[in-house]
A and B are shown apart, each in its own frame.
Chain A
Amino acid sequence: MAGQHLTTAVVGSYSMPGWLERAKNDYLRRRITAHDLDEMHDTAVKAAIKDQEVAGIDIVSDGELRRDNMIDYFAMRLPGVEIDRTSKTSYYDFYESVVRGRMPMAPLGLVEHYRFLRRFTDHRTKVSVTGPHSLVKRIRNEHYPSEEAFAMEIARIMNLELRELVRAGAEQIQIDEPYYSGFPEDLPWGVRAVNALVENVDARLSLHVCYGNRYGKPSWEGSYRYLFPAILEARIDQVTLEFARRGSEDLRLFKEFDAPFTLGLGVIDVKTHDVETPAVVAERIREALAILPTERLSVNPDCGLLHLPREIAFAKLCAMVEGTQLVRREISG
C-alpha cells in the first residue's frame, strides 16, 4: 500500500508554551516546586501528543517539552558530569558543565519519559537523543585526551540507555547532531561516535543533521556536501535533513552518492511563521521523488517546532500531512 511509504514524523520538539517557559524559569528561581513543574510537563506533553495525532502525524514524539534545551537534559543525566546549578537563571541557557574524571556507567532515566509517551498514544513513537559530537561541544572536558575519546565514552554510556529504551518498546530512535554543520572537519570521528552509540541497538535509527535551531535561527550556513562521503559509514537507517528553508539543491547528493540509508525529507521551514500550503509541501516531496523512490523517503519538518507559536506549529503539521496525502494519492493513482 502506497500509504505505508512517505511516513510523516516530527523531528522531535513541539511548540514550547509561554506559560511553560515561565514555569521553568520560576522553578530555576525556586518559586515553584519540582512536583508542580513535573505536573505541568506531563500536561504539556499530553497536549503536544494530541496535537500531533489530530494533525495526522504517523510517528509522534513527546514534544521534548521536559527538556530545557538539547544539551542540559542529557548533561544533567550523564553520570560523571558536574553541573554548576548557579550558572543559569533562564531555562534555555546552558548550564556550565564539566567532566573531571572517568565517567562511570549508569542509567540516564530516559525510559521513564518514553513510557509516559507510550501510555498516552497509540501512534508509532520516536525518541530523540542528542548525539555525542554535539554533547562534547558543550560539556567541558578536563579528563579525556581528545574530543573524540570523550565522545566515544559518552557513546558507550548512552548506548546502554538506548538498549534500555528498546527493551521498553522503543522502535524509532533519532540521534541529533546539529553541531556537525559547524565543525565539518570532525565528521569522521563524529560518525564513529554515532556508530558506537547505536551498536546492537535494535530499533529503526535515524540521524538528524541540520544547520542549528538555537533561538529559532540557523547557527551556520553552507552545503550538506560536507557530509559526504563520511556519512555513508554511519550504521543508521535514515538521515533527516532540512530542505524547506535551504532549498532542494543538496538533494542531488543522493543522486551522486549511493546512500545505504533512507532520507527524512524536511518539508516545513521551522524558522518562519508563514505556514506552508499543502501544495507547497507536495511540490517539495515531488522534487525529492525525482531522485529517490517512495520507499526511501519519509516526510518531516526541517527541525524541531520548539520556537514556533502553537497555532503555527499545529497548522504547519496539518499542512505537512495534507501535502503528503496529496502525493500519496497521486502515487496510488
Chain B
Amino acid sequence: MAETARRSDGFDVIVVGAGPAGTAAAYTLAKAGIKVALIERGVYPGAKNVMGGVMYSQPVGAIIPNFWDEAPLERHIIEQQYQILSPDSAISGKHRSTQYAVQPHNRYTVLRAKFDAWFAGQADAAGAYLLTNTVVTDPIIDNGRVIGVSTDRPDGDLYANVVIVADGVNSLIAEKLGLRPVIDTVNMALAVKEIVALPRGKIEDRFNLEGDEGATIDIYGEVARGMVATGFIYTNKDSLSVGLGVILKDLVKSGLTPYELLDGMKNHPTIKPLLAGGEPREYLAHMIPEGGYQAMPKLYSDGVLIAGDAAMMVNGFHREGSNLAMTSGKLAAETAIEAIEHKEFGARAMSAYKTKLNNSYILQDLRKYRKLPGFISSRPQIFNVYPQIINDAATEFLTVDSVPKKQKQWKIWRQIVKKRRPLRKLLRDIYEGWRAFG
C-alpha cells in the first residue's frame, strides 16, 4: 500500500454526510475518543435536508441523553390522527393520550435545517472534525479495501481505516462501491412538502392543543389519484408541514407533477379549513427510499459500512426513517470502534455491523414488512378504491332516509362488490394484505 505517499491527517474514521445517520456515527466515535472527520456537502448540516418531520425521542436519547433540553424542537406530539379521504368525504380516527404530554415525550416535530445543524454541532463539540461545504466525490480503494475518500476540494483526498457511508437516499458512494444497484423507481418515493406559516394561536385552536403540544395527521385516499401516495400535516410552533410522498414510477407514468397532487390535497374539503389563512413559506422536495428489506444494498465491505437512507433503512408503513438512520449510524460507529481496538478492518470485522443490525429493531422490522412494498405497488387500489368504499358505506349508513337498515346494509354490500371490488378480489386483498404485514 502507498502508505508513505499519503498525507497523514491521522483520521481513524471518515463519515460521509451529516444527516441523522452520519452525525450519530460521528458523535458516537468522537465520544469514544476516536479521531473522526464528518464531511457534509451542505453549507451547513441540514441546509438542504428534508423530513416531515417527526423525530422519535428514544433513539435520539440513546445517543444524546436529555437532548430535549437543548435541541431545537418544534412541538411534542400528543395526538396522532389518520384521515381517509374520498373526493367529498373523510373518515378519520385518532389517538390522543396525556401520557404523551409528560417528559420524556415520545416524539417531536422538527425542522431539519435547524435540528441537523444543532446535532452536528454536538458532534463537533464532542471532538469530531466537521468539514462542511465539501462534496465527497469518490471512495479511494486500494486492493479492494476502502481506505479513504476524494472530495471536490483542492488537495482533497483524505484517508482513514474505516469509512462510514451516510450520504442519504441517492448514495453516490454506495453506488460507486458497487454495493447497490441502480435504484428502481418503484422503490423510490418523491416527497414534496410546504411549510405553511400560521400563528401559534390558530394552530392550537384548530388542532385542539395547548402550549407546545403538537398533532400529526396522516392522510390516505383521494390524495393518491390512483397512485401509491400518502399525505401528512404536522404541526410546528408557528407553521404546519404539509406534504405528500408518491412512488416515483407511478408519478412518472401519470404525467402529473407533485405540486398538482399537493394542491389537490390542500384543497380537499376536510383539509382546506386547517390551512386557511396560512402563508406558504418554503417549498421542499426530497426522495424517500421505500423499497424496504428487499431493496437494501450490501451493508458492508472491506473498510466500509453503510447507514441510514443510503442503506434504504426506512420503515414506510410506520413513517420511520430518522430513527433507523440514527440507530444504524450508532451501530456502525460501535463496529468501527471495535475494529480499531482489534486493528481489523476487513469485511469480516465489518460484518459485526450486520449482526448488530440483525439484533436490533432495524432489520427485524424491515424484515417483518418485507412483502409490504411489493403488495402495495401491485395494488394501488388500496389507496383509492378502499377509501372510496368506506366513505360511501359511512355516508349511506349515516344518512337517515326511511330505508330499513337491513336493506341499507345490502345496498352497501352490493355497491362494494358490484361497483368497487369483486368479492374474489376483495378476499384476496385481505389475505395478501394480512400476509404482507407479517
User: Do A and B actually bind?
Assistant: no
